[in-house]
Every structure is written in C-alpha cells, then in structure tokens.
C-alpha cells in the first residue's frame, strides 16, 4: 500500500445474501479515488448468527481510526451495516444503505425461499432459477455485460452460508433500534426492486433515523450496483 492510500479512510462494503462482496465490482475503482476500499467476503463456517457476522466486521476494522469508516450495506448487507453501526458508532463516519430493510416483511416469500433452497442442488432447477434471474435483471435495465458479471461473481457463493443468511433474515427485526443511529446516513432505493419493497422501506427508515437523506431511483431494480450510470462514489 502506498503512502497516499494509507492516509485514506476505509470504505467498508458489506454484501447481501451472496456474502462475497463481488457485486460491488463495478463500484470499487471510482471509490478508490477517495477511499481504501474493502468489499467484505465473509469467511465460510458451518453455522453462524447475526452477531457472528457483525463480530467479524468489528474484528476486521479494529485498526481504523475513530470516525473514519464509511459503511455501505446492500440488501441483506444493510442489516449487517445497521448492526455494525449500532455496535461501534464511534468507528463510523457515515452509513449508506442500498435497497436495504430493517425487517423483511414478506414472510411467506422468505419462508419459501429457505425451505426450497436445498432443491437448487438439482441442475434443472438451478438453470430455471438463473433464467428467471436473467429476465428480472434485464427488465430492471441491467446490461448484458452487467448480467454476465452477476453470474461470474456469484460462482463462488457458499450454499450453506447463503441458506444460513436466509435464516437470519427470517428472525431479524431492527426497526425499534433505528432511532439509535446517530451517524450521517444515506438511503438509496430502487423503484423497480422485485425482491425488496425498497422505496417503502427506505422511507420508513428515513423517518426513524435522525440524520438521514433519501435518494430514490424510480427506473432501477434491486441490482442497483450493476445499473448503468449508477456510481456509488458520486454519493459517499
């Protein structure tokens, strides 16, 4: 690391259900102008809870100076970002939540996803899932290049970890703790998100987080990070 990079604050990019951090790939280069960038990849383990994931983030940032870490959480990563900020607010300079939620209200959908996930071991069902995902991404404006990047980056997803994160979503509810967030917060929500009611959730959070600013992207879908023209560096 050169001397200039060593003096930059850290941008901690917390991934969603994939747990790899690779979906931030198109955002990293612009961020490096102002930040040291770390797209977090959670270590693989057979069992874990929300507190284990947060503790991993705490340990990984223990050498950062107070008030310097720009925390970004995408989708499920927003739950982790909120929890990290609540656990050690003195370490954080800002919080950004992208198509995130403090509680997942579509209970039937998440219950079905958790129960049906083991069936994706069958190649035919995996291909069907990928076909549906491709059509959804295309309908949300993600380019063919972005869709290829999506599949390439998700090849290394740990199935056991993915399912465990689904289980965490079923249990988590951070709504009552939102007023405790004191750092400057940016909320980014896509109007065509088919996985999360992103705009509704972002407006709810904006009403409860004291120092929050909301940005809405009416034509974008859940994969805002891969949407042509979107640059996270323009906001944080």
DSSP, residue by residue, 80-122: HHHHHHHH-GGGEEEEEEES--SS---HHHHHHHHHHGGGGGS
**CA distance linking residue 195 with residue 99, whole number of Å:** 9
- Asked if 14 and 73 count as a contact pair (C-beta separation under 8 A), the reply is yes
CB neighbourhood size of 37 (10 A):
22
What's the pLDDT at 109?
59
CATH number for the domain harbouring residue 56: 3.40.50.1820
Does residue 68 sit in helix, strand or coil?
coil
Q: What is the pLDDT of residue 15?
A: 95
Given this model, what pLDDT does residue 97 score?
98
Q: How many structural domains compose the chain? A: 1
Coil, strand or helix: which one is 150? helix
**pLDDT the model gives residue 156:** 64
pLDDT value of residue 145:
73
Each residue's pLDDT tens digit, 120-170: 454 544 554 555 566 666 666 677 777 776 666 666 677 788 888 888 998
d(CA 18, CA 153): 9
DSSP state of 232: G
Ranges of residues in the chain with a pLDDT under 50 are 3, 119-120, 122, 124-125, 128
The residue range of the domain holding 56 is 3-234
Residue 128: per-residue pLDDT: 47
Q: How far apart are CA 215 and CA 226, in angstroms?
A: 17
DSSP H helices in the chain: 3-6, 25-31, 50-60, 76-87, 107-116, 123-139, 144-153, 159-171, 198-208
- Measure the CA–CA gap between 39 and 12, rounded to whole angstroms: 6
pLDDT in the model for residue 117: 54
**pLDDT in the model for residue 180:** 98
If one counts every other C-beta atom within 10 angstroms of the C-beta of residue 123, the result is 8
User: Which pLDDT belongs to residue 129?
Assistant: 53
């Amino acid at each position: 690391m050169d001397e200039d990079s060593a003096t930059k604050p850290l941008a901690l990019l917390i991934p969603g259900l994939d747990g790899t951090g690779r979906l931030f790939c198109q955002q990293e280069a612009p961020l490096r102008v102002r930040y040291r960038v770390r797209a977090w990849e959670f270590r693989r383990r057979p069992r874990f809870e929300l507190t284990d994931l947060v503790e991993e983030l705490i340990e990984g940032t223990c050498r950062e100076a107070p008030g310097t870490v720009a925390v970004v959480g995408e989708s499920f990563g927003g739950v982790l970002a909120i929890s990290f900020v609540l656990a050690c607010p003195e370490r954080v300079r800002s919080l950004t939540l992208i198509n995130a939620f403090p509680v997942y209200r579509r209970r039937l959908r998440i219950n079905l996803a958790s129960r049906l996930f083991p069936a994706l071991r069958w190649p035919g069902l995996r291909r069907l899932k990928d076909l549906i995902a491709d059509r959804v991404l295309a309908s949300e404006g993600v380019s063919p290049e972005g869709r290829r990047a999506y599949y390439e980056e998700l090849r290394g997803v740990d199935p056991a970890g993915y399912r465990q994160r689904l289980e965490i979503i079923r249990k988590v509810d951070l709504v009552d703790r939102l007023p405790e967030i004191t750092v400057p917060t940016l909320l980014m929500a896509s109007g065509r998100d088919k996985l999360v009611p992103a705009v509704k959730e972002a407006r709810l959070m904006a009403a409860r987080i004291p120092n929050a600013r909301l940005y809405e992207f009416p034509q974008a879908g859940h994969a805002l990070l891969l949407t042509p023209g979107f640059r996270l560096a323009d906001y944080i």
